[in-house]
Amino acid sequence: MPIQYSDYTTWLTDWLDSPEAKEHLDFWSKQLHGDLPVINFPTDRQPTLRPPTHAAMETLLLPTDLTDSLRQLAKGKNTTLFTVLLAAFGTLLARSSGQSDIIIGSPVANRRQETERLIGPFSGPVCLRLDFSNSPTLQQVLDRAHEVNLNALTHAELPFELIADRVKMRTVNGRKPIFQFYFFYQNAFLQPRQLGELSITPLPTISMGIPFEMQLGMIERAEGIRAQLEFNPDFYDAQTIRQTLADYQDILLAFVNQPDLPLQSVQTTRKWAATPLAESVVQHSQVLPPQTETEIKLAKIWEDTLSTRPIGKNQDYFELGGNSLLATRLFAEIDRVFQVHLPISTLFYAKTVEEFAQLIEKQNAGITWSSLVPIQPNGSRIPFFCVHGGGGNVLIYRDLSRHLGPDQPFYGLQSQGLDGKQPLLQTIEEMASLYIEEIKKVQPYGPYYLGGYCLGGTIALDMAQKLQAQGQEVAIVALFDTINWSRLRPRKLLDQWRYQAERIQFHLQNFLLLNFAGQKKFLSEKWKVLLNRTTIWKGSFLSRFKRDQQAPDTESQLLARLWKTNDSACLVYRPKPFSGRVCDFRPKHQYSIYLEPNVNWDGVITGELDVVLLPVYPAGMLLEPFVKDLADALKAAIERANVDIG
């Protein structure tokens, strides 16, 4: 190859310092100035910021005479078929929402002649901001779309990430720009071919899921142009999308047959301001202002942390775009303002400002704090109880619970003392006894489904032994990357160096298992983990210089002390034999010190031991996107246990 992708990245880095790149950035800063529009396209259910639960798509083959007419229209206006199809999609969104400022995302290849033979992430989205103000005719809409598209393509070389850093985004009723709707036109699709005796037939397109509310792809194949509308099924019903495609076809016909038709005369089946459905959505998602002094202070903290205004007392933290990284900042500020130590897992059962305010008031009233966290308490199945790892928190299990599905109740067990008031438990046996008391408040009798990551697996195993001794049935104990710590030999300096080198190697190997999108997600997840560990390292460092040992710990000092206490408890614990079913979920490779001959469960697991190797390296099984593999394997193990207990 005359050039490699690294050559392209070097060129791009140099180009970003050029006057041309600055002009591109200035263009997009002006194009996307101010508060970006949030398009209120009518939904069948309240919009949220949660990822869609599954993929969905409806298609419509455009009549041949219509596509021929659209090509003639584009030719006559000295524009492209893409622009005509885009203008019609924008018209559909404008008429359905009753808004005149519409932003649609669209991919651009961004390849130069020199890079045609290279494989690499060249493409990126551009923001097409269409203006439907002053009731233009369809002909004027097309002229405006042509101008917007031409300017966008002229400035498409600037990486989208730089643009996103400059724009002002906000969240309104579960919707968040830059763009909620995506559009593309594909005319280089695979066509049926015959190579000797080999026949090649393209498979029908299937949806893999989208991060947008809707994505309209216009696919040109031998049969003609097919409109395929992928959608978020948590927002829309399939019937709604089929009607939307019918409206889109009618608008395309209007562009051909009635170019002088005013925008306000274009009719669509669904309208935001007119339909009872839309009104009910508005009512359901109405943001209620904070009322009490505690709610007002909390709302201000949430707004500053999430960069979203205003935030009502009834809005869900996760639907507002909150995550574990932001939660660390959120709780540090809550601790400073209210002088209340609360674990991050509080967000599982106090997701709104109103619920959080009530919890703070209960804390001030001295109401006891519980180790049991209802991560996902709904569903008809037997609950799964998952014990914390060394850090004591259970927010690490949120994605695992989500992938197990809405019918699987999932409870976490967090370390006592995370509130800074109660004493830390010093032994595995103490933790197991307390957690058994907690789970019996939800499920008084077996069969029990227990599990935990790393240290959590050790505690879950001791809980299972104690429950068996009480005459209770334990259907399964799920160990997530848990080894028999009691058989580890003391690590020498060389062992520690080897361990750290392997740790870096495993992080890199997990990264290389993924595609580009997965790598971005994985790096984001690892960044959150690193920030959490940094907090603990800071606390450990500060604790060494703490003069007044009676003074209360800071948040970082508390977490560092908790981690050290849990580690010490784990290393001195000696597990007793367990005769039940254990499912041991392990990474595909392991640290060399954990592979030594005596580090195993021989003589401890005397019942059935299932070992499941996951396609991931250490420290990755609970992170997206690998956590789905763990969830699928755990579901299968639970189903096997269900069969055994009848």
What CATH code is carried by the domain that includes residue 503?
3.40.50.1820
**Gap between the Cα atoms of 401 and 124, Å rounded:** 32
Average pLDDT of 192-196? Answer: 84
pLDDT in tens, 446-460: 899 999 999 999 999
Residue 631 in any domain: the answer is yes
pLDDT in tens, 336-384: 888 777 777 778 778 889 988 888 876 665 555 788 988 888 888 899 9
- Point out the domain boundary residue: 301, 335, 367: 367
Q: Which residue has the higher pLDDT, 485 or 365?
A: 485
Residue 235's φ and ψ, nearest 5 degrees, are -100, -40
Q: Would you state the pLDDT for residue 61?
A: 95
Q: Would you state the pLDDT for residue 526?
A: 60
Do 412 and 341 belong together in one domain? Answer: no
The CA R_g of the chain, rounded to the nearest whole Å, is: 28
Contact 117, 136 (CB under 8 A): no
Residue 515 has pLDDT above 80, yes or no: no
User: How many CA atoms, within 13 angstroms, populate the side-chain half-sphere of residue 621?
Assistant: 27
Average pLDDT of 133-148? Answer: 95
Q: Would you state the pLDDT for residue 174?
A: 61
568 sits in which H/E element: helix 555-572
pLDDT-derived band at 528, boundaries 50, 70, 90: low
Do 228 and 354 belong together in one domain? Answer: no
**Whole-structure pTM over 0.75, yes or no?**
no
- Residue 268: CATH number of its domain: 3.30.559.30
Residue 644 has pLDDT above 80, yes or no: no
Contacts 24+ apart (CB under 8 A), 153-161: 153/108, 153/126, 155/24, 155/27, 155/28, 155/126, 156/108, 156/110, 156/124, 156/126, 157/15, 157/21, 157/24, 157/110, 158/21, 158/24, 158/25, 158/28, 159/12, 159/16, 159/124, 160/124, 160/125, 160/126
**Gap between the Cα atoms of 577 and 464, Å rounded:** 11
Q: 3-state DSSP call for residue 316?
A: coil
Q: Would you state the pLDDT for residue 279?
A: 38
Residue 498 has pLDDT above 50, yes or no: yes
Q: Note the Cα 225 to chain centre separation in Å.
A: 33
pLDDT-derived band at 274, boundaries 50, 70, 90: very low
Residue 200 in any domain: the answer is no
pLDDT in tens, 249-260: 999 999 999 999
Do 325 and 358 belong together in one domain? Answer: yes
Ranking 188-202, 216-230, 268-282, 311-325 by mean pLDDT, the lowest is 268-282
- In sequence order, what E strands does 36-140 have? 57-61, 101-108, 124-131
Residues 6 or more apart in contact with residue 189 via CB below 8 angstroms: 202, 219, 220, 221
Average pLDDT of 549-556? Answer: 57
Residue 372 in any domain: the answer is no
Residue 442 has pLDDT above 80, yes or no: yes
Q: Would you state the pLDDT for residue 488?
A: 84
CA dist 580 → 401, 608, 642 (Å): 24, 6, 14
Do 55 and 148 belong together in one domain? Answer: yes
Q: Would you state the pLDDT for residue 181?
A: 95
Residue 182 in any domain: the answer is yes
**In which domain, by residue range, is 328 found?**
287-367
- Residue 331: CATH number of its domain: 1.10.1200.10
Do 264 and 299 belong together in one domain? Answer: no
Q: Would you state the pLDDT for residue 278?
A: 38
**Gap between the Cα atoms of 530 and 84, Å rounded:** 48
Q: Is 90 left (phi over 0), alpha (psi -120 to 50) or beta?
A: alpha
Q: Note the Cα 465 to chain centre separation in Å.
A: 36
Residue 68 in any domain: the answer is yes
Residue 198 in any domain: the answer is no
Average pLDDT of 474-491? Answer: 90
CA dist 593 → 492, 496, 568, 598 (Å): 11, 10, 18, 10
User: How many CA atoms, within 13 angstroms, populate the side-chain half-sphere of residue 9?
Assistant: 6
Q: What's 123's DSSP letter? A: -
Most confident of 225-229, 418-422, 516-520, 541-545: 225-229
Contact 448, 404 (CB under 8 A): no
Name the residue with tokens 């779309």. 145
pLDDT-derived band at 283, boundaries 50, 70, 90: very low
pLDDT in tens, 155-179: 998 888 888 877 766 666 667 668 8
Number of structural domains the chain divides into: 3
Closest Cα partner for 46 from 410, 227, 422, 314? 314
For 420, other C-beta atoms within 10 Å of its C-beta total 17
Q: Would you state the pLDDT for residue 25?
A: 92
Indicate the average pLDDT of the chain: 85
Q: Would you state the pLDDT for residue 558?
A: 78
Do 424 and 348 belong together in one domain? Answer: no
Q: Would you state the pLDDT for residue 529?
A: 58
**Gap between the Cα atoms of 52 and 104, Å rounded:** 19
The percent of residues in the chain predicted with pLDDT above 90, rounded, is 42
Q: Would you state the pLDDT for residue 469?
A: 93
Residue 53 has pLDDT above 80, yes or no: no
Contacts 24+ apart (CB under 8 A), 12-17: 12/159, 15/157, 16/159, 16/162
Q: Is 366 left (phi over 0), alpha (psi -120 to 50) or beta?
A: left
Do 251 and 324 belong together in one domain? Answer: no
Q: Which residue has the higher pLDDT, 149 or 165?
A: 149
Do 306 and 262 belong together in one domain? Answer: no
Contact 66, 256 (CB under 8 A): yes
**Gap between the Cα atoms of 231 and 126, Å rounded:** 20
| Structure token digits, residue 591 | 């640290």
pLDDT-derived band at 281, boundaries 50, 70, 90: very low
Give the amino acid at 604: V
Residues 6 or more apart in contact with residue 223 via CB below 8 angstroms: 61
Residue 471 in any domain: the answer is yes
Do 521 and 592 belong together in one domain? Answer: yes
Residue 176 in any domain: the answer is yes
Ranking 31-35, 181-185, 246-250 by mean pLDDT, the lowest is 31-35
- Point out the domain boundary residue: 263, 282, 301: 282
Q: Which residue has the higher pLDDT, 431 or 124?
A: 431
Do 361 and 395 belong together in one domain? Answer: no
CA dist 391 → 117, 484, 566 (Å): 48, 19, 8
Do 400 and 362 belong together in one domain? Answer: no
Q: Note the Cα 96 to chain centre separation in Å.
A: 29
Strands 384-387 and 448-453: parallel
Do 307 and 163 belong together in one domain? Answer: no
Residue 639's φ and ψ, nearest 5 degrees, are -65, -40
| Structure token digits, residue 234 | 């948590």
Residues 6 or more apart in contact with residue 156 via CB below 8 angstroms: 108, 110, 124, 126
Residue 280 has pLDDT above 50, yes or no: no
- Point out the domain boundary residue: 220, 247, 282: 282
